[in-house]
Structure 1
Amino acid sequence: MDYQDYYQTLGVGKTATKDQIKKAYRKLARQYHPDVNPNNPEAERKFKEINEANEVLSDDDKRQKYDQLGADWQRYQQAGAGRGSAGGGGFDWSQYAQGGGGSDPFGGADFSDFFGSVFGGMGGSQGGSARPRAGQDYQAELELSLEDAYQGGPRTLTVNGKSLRITIQPGVEDGQAIRLRDQGAPGRNGGPSGSLYITLRIRPAARYSRNGSDLTMDVPISIYTALLGGEHTVETLSGPVKITIKPETQNGTRLRLRGKGFPVYRQPGQFGDLYLRLSLTLPQQLTDQEKTLFRQLADLRK
């Protein structure tokens, strides 16, 4: 039976905090989740290893026992001790071995023999019954366009074969997670179900760049409008807006449209600003007459 290095599985150090362990677990679970890797046995194996490691390291009692065993494991291997007996070097496996297999909280195949031997019988109240345990959390992703994130509203996604309807609040950020309580794995021994964490992924938009609740977009204008001034219509996420270009506007000039940016998350009626970066477009395929006129203009500017 091989020793399972749970810290290495999650990629954390032995002094990692609970928050660090939880963060590492969620990242890896999202990466190797069966929904993301269908028909991939290697990802499925890795997913089970990650859940087993989290099952131990996220539980104070199991982690304490695991850390104690880790210090004695080398002596156990050297002693060749069997279950329930004291072997060479004074190592007594019976203080660790529990018997019975560990079950996967996601309802899949059993945990490793190592887990079952060490933790299979762990837990329980003074009356001998197993103590309640919360179910594992699930991870999922939902892709949105920038317009979706701007408008918000209901969305439907399927997680582990279950269709869920959620409401997106306007102004959500890329990478933001939504927690749905009791939508994770069922609890054990009467414990509560886990949570479902939905990470929002917002596709980049060709026209806009976003910084919090502010947006920036490039607005091409003709050289004639830049020189002489005039009106120009800009398509914003809230609809078309007519702007006035001052005469002799320089290339790269920035204009600010207050309140025409992105909604401020969970602050209804508040919006960021939209910044317009004016870029001049030069005429092409000039006629002979146009070239003559431009030469005359150039001569006038000498």
Structure 2
Amino acid sequence: MDYKDYYKILGVEKAASTDQIKKAYRKLARQHHPDVNPGDPKAEQKFKEVNEANEVLSDDDKRRKYDQLGADYQRYQQGGGRGPAGGFDWSQYSQGGRAGGGNDPFGGADFSDFFSSIFGGMGGGQRPPGGQRAGAGPDYQAELELTLAEAFQGGPRTLTVNGKSLRLTIKPGVEDGQTIRLRDQGGPGRHGGPNGSLFITLRIQPDPRYTRTGDDLTMDVPVSIYKALLGGEQVVDTLSGPVKIRLKPDTANGTRLRLRGKGFPRYQHPEQIGDLYLNLTLSLPQHLTEQEKALFHQLAALRPD
């Protein structure tokens, strides 16, 4: 039977981390999913290969065994592919019996038989009666809209997918476009296989008050000309509640202030909070009375250009 390079199938290095393997698998599984490529046998075949590669590389025990097999297979190739390489006993890997004949342990079967011979069948189990293989169910995709305040606070949310109501907890600090995976909430498995997963993409609605950059927020704060000239207190509405700040006299238009710990919580680390930056913009008085105009004329006369 043919040796399968699962690392090459997923497009990752042999030293790839578990997270890198998961990321590569999700990307390829979505790209080649039969629901996305109806009637495309090549995409279906690729989808099967990607799932099989993930089945091995995402399992520590299977991955260790597969890595050892790969090292021995290199010795086998270096020996010309004839007979045991350097006295190596290939039977130690076989759980379902050799598929090929003669002295070539890698002759005559497809990749699924390769997997079954080494690991005993898809998902680590045996082939069900009738020769049908167990397989994971299809993954589902969904989107969930959140306000910036909801992304800041986190908390329970309810989502309906395919007529099923699901309750999930959003952690504080999620980002726009972030994907959450709910295991076993996808389509049903085939022939006793596991259910697929539900991937929920979070869409955070823009907030007219704030601009988010990572864990930091920026907002414009209008300040009256009188308070900018004479100084005083200014109330700022942050996502964690109103905060009073004190302005110094002669505060210039465009002054930038920093409020530590008033930004966004870091995802998975809510105790780490970003900063809030304030851009102070002067707000000119409108609809002046005759008396106010007269006073401004007096002030202008005191400070001629």
TM range (shorter): 0.5 to 0.7
Within the candidate set 18, 26, 32, 2:30 is matched to 26
Tell me how far 1:50 sits from its aligned partner. Answer: 8.2
Task: Tell whether the 8 Å contact from 1:21 to 1:57 is kept in structure 2 after alignment.
Answer: no
Of 260, 273, 276, 2:275 maps to: 273
Equivalence for 1:94:
none
Q: TM-score, normalised by structure 2?
A: 0.63
Kindly state the Cα deviation for residue 271 of structure 1 after the two structures are TM-superposed: 1.1
Alpha carbons of structure 1 residues 24 and 50: separation in structure 2 relative to 1, 3 Å: farther
| Alignment partner of 2:44 out of 55, 61, 66 | 55
Aligned match of 2:244 in 226, 242, 245?
Answer: 242
Gaps of 5+ in 2: 1-8, 13-22, 53-125
Contact persistence 1:182–1:194 (CA under 8 A): yes
1:1-20 correspondence runs (5 A): 17=11
Structure 2 residue aligned with 1:196:
198
**What is the alpha-carbon root mean square deviation over aligned residues?**
3.2
> How far has the Cα of 1:286 moved from its partner?
1.7
2-structure distance, mates of 1:212, 1:62:
33
**1:261 equivalent in structure 2:** 263
Q: Could you tell me how far apart the structure 1 residues matched to 2:253 and 2:32 are? A: 47
Find the residue that maps to 1:278 and give its secondary structure: strand
CA contact (8 A) 1:146 1:204 kept: yes
Match of 2:175 in 1: 173
Distance 2:262 2:207 in 1: 16
Shift of 1:186: 1.3
**1:283 aligned counterpart, secondary structure:** coil
Q: Give the distance between the partners of 1:61 and 1:169, measured in 2 at CA.
A: 30
User: Partners in 1 of 2:211 and 2:142 — Cα distance?
Assistant: 26
Q: Which residue of 2 aligns with 1:162?
A: 164
2:218 is matched by which residue type in structure 1? Answer: T
Distance change (3 Å), C-alpha of 1:224 and 1:166: same
TM normalised by structure 1 equals 0.63
SS at match of 2:273: coil
Query: How much does 1:264 deviate?
Result: 1.2
Q: Secondary structure at the match of 2:191?
A: coil
Gaps of 5+ in 1: 1-14, 30-44, 64-123
> What are the equivalent positions in structure 2 for 1:70-109 lying under 5 Å apart?
none
Count of matched residue positions in the alignment of Structure 1 and Structure 2: 216
Q: What is the CA–CA distance in structure 2 between the aligned matches of 1:158 and 1:195, rounded to whole Å?
A: 15
Where does residue 143 of structure 1 map in the other structure?
145
Residues 180-220 of structure 1, C-alpha deviation per residue, up to 9 Å, x if partnerless?
11111111122211111000100000111101111111111
Name 2:123's counterpart in structure 1.
none
Q: Deviations over 1:245-277 (max 9, x none)?
A: 110001111111111111111113221111111
> Is contact 2:219–2:279 with CA below 8 Å preserved after alignment?
yes
The residue type paired with residue 244 of structure 1 is R
Q: Is the 8 A contact 1:28 1:50 kept in 2?
A: no
Per-residue CA deviations over 1:85-112 (Å, capped at 9, x if unaligned) read xxxxxxxxxxxxxxxxxxxxxxxxxxxx
Q: What CA deviation, in whole Å up to 9, does each residue of 1:205-247 have, x standing for no partner?
A: 0111101111111111100000100001111111110000110
Q: 1:148 to 1:223 in 2, by over 3 A?
A: same
